[in-house]
Amino acid sequence: MAYPAECCGLLMGHRRPTSLTITSHRSAANLARDSRRAFTLDPDALLAVIREIRSSAPTVDRTPQFLGFYHSHPNGSIQPSRADLASAWPGYFYLIVAVGLAGPPSYAVALQRAVGSF
């Protein structure tokens, strides 16, 4: 558990014209200097996922695709931060999980596709 730091990782699955199915995820190290307020995903994790997808045998359905990223906002909102907006890759999906430890655990999730920006 990364809390109170931000966790981050990669999302894989299938993208269709009207739907998105996340079939797996891979956690990654957060290399940000201030990991409580930002995330910098370990690029080795991204390279490993790309290599894994390229080397996987096609399935009856389809080979999973790299869809995007997830990260948490400890004690924050599901709205993307300025840094999130500035670093988003157009066309990829960003799942933000707001996590708080005050009271019962609460989770809010937003999945947004970056098109130029969110």
Instruction: Please give the structure tokens belonging to residue 50.
Output: 């790309």
Exactly one of 2, 6, 7, 38 is catalytic; name it. 6
Give the x/- contact pattern for Zn ion in 43-82, rule: CB under 5 A.
--------------------------------------x-
Instruction: Please give the structure tokens belonging to residue 56.
Output: 């996987």
Tell me how far apart the alpha carbons of residues 94 and 69 are, in angstroms, rounded to a whole number. Answer: 5
Tell me how far apart the alpha carbons of residues 41 and 51 are, in angstroms, rounded to a whole number. Answer: 17
- Answer yes or no whether residue 87 interacts with Zn ion by CB under 5 A: no
Is 52 known to be catalytic? no
- Answer yes or no whether residue 84 interacts with Zn ion by CB under 5 A: yes
Q: Does residue 42 contact residue 109 with C-beta atoms inside 8 Å? A: no
**Which residues of the shown chain bind Zn ion in the complex (CB under 5 A)?**
81, 84
Active site residues per annotation: 6
